[in-house]
Copies of this chain bind each other. A is one copy, B any other.
Amino acid sequence: MDLLAPMRTFVRVVETGSFTAVAREASTSQPTISRQIAALEAHLGARLLTRSTRALTPTQDGRAFYEHARRALEAVGEAENAVGRRRGRPSGTLKLSIPVVFGRLHVVPRLGRFLARYPELSIELAMGDGFADLVEQGIDLAIRVGVVQDQGLVARRIGTVRRLAVAAPSYLRRRGAPDSPAALASHDCIAYTRLATGNRWHFQGRDGPIAVDITGRFATDSSEGVREAVRVGLGVALIPAFAISDEVRRGRVRVLLRDYEPTPLPLSLVYPSRRLVPLKVRAMADFLAREFAPDGPGKAPPTESGG
């Protein structure tokens, strides 16, 4: 028996919660959907859906099968896209995870072009800075700022993010400005816990690298949180230039230690390591790498090559 059609149908049924809706979507009759699901259940020897006129909920088996079916259908799609007429024409849905601020400023505005280029492809966007849960959440591709060290992930560096040491005028009036990285030890430093280097800040001085163990009473795992904390004068922070330059221009925060550049962070594409990288992942990765290349098509690339 043919399994693919029932599997496709089942996936859509789970996602829409309705036989009728799937029938319309597939421009077929509703009994066809009913029969396909029934046949699938018979084949598997398991009930996948609990039907009632009003509600349609997957059973435990149904949920498990849904996950497997999605994977399998994606693999079949990859096979179809690997050769022949459809070669190089990715299709399906790409789950993309990007940092909140960077994503809003630099990624989302570019996605329209990507979607136009690959008409059979859809994007499901997740915003977040966490490294760990990519596989868990079924993310296909992520953009991450900072060193990637997770098991099971491949990182492809596409650029470098310059950072600035900043503080709000209100804080500086109260506490004065540090004149060297070492002076930070007696300042309130805002730690970004997502970075492996959490409580140690690294700078490039004229005479080589400088490391400072910082102290402070506010730490957060949210880059938005760091920025907000700086703005309200909670302390000094290192923030990517692209995320804070607006505030600097408006005078809401001041750049400190101009002679000591915080060590730039790598900007990486991250994806689960597989033997065969899906076409859609490769397509998006190549697109992003080109967009953010120092001499790429983006007018104002947020990254700088050296580093």
A interface, CB within 8 angstroms of B: 2-5, 7, 41, 43-46, 48, 61-62, 64-65, 67-69, 71-72, 74-76, 78-80, 82-87, 135-136, 138, 151-154, 272-276
- Identical copies in the complex: 2
9 contacts between A and B (CB under 8 A): A4-B4, A45-B84, A61-B82, A67-B275, A71-B276, A75-B75, A135-B275, A136-B275, A152-B153
From B43, B78, B151, contact of A154 by CB (8 A): B151
Bound CA span A82–B65, Å? 6
If over half of A's interface residues share one DSSP class (helix, strand or loop), that class is named, otherwise mixed; here it is helix
* Cβ–Cβ contact A275 & B138, under 8 A: yes
Residues of B within 8 A of A69 (CB): 79
From B41, B46, B76, B86, contact of A76 by CB (8 A): B76
From B61, B68, B83, contact of A46 by CB (8 A): B83
* Cβ–Cβ contact B64 & A68, under 8 A: no
Bound CA span A16–B5, Å? 28
Known: A4-B76, A44-B85, A272-B273. 5 other contacts (CB 8 A): A45-B85, A45-B86, A72-B72, A76-B76, A274-B274
Residues of B within 8 A of A43 (CB): 80
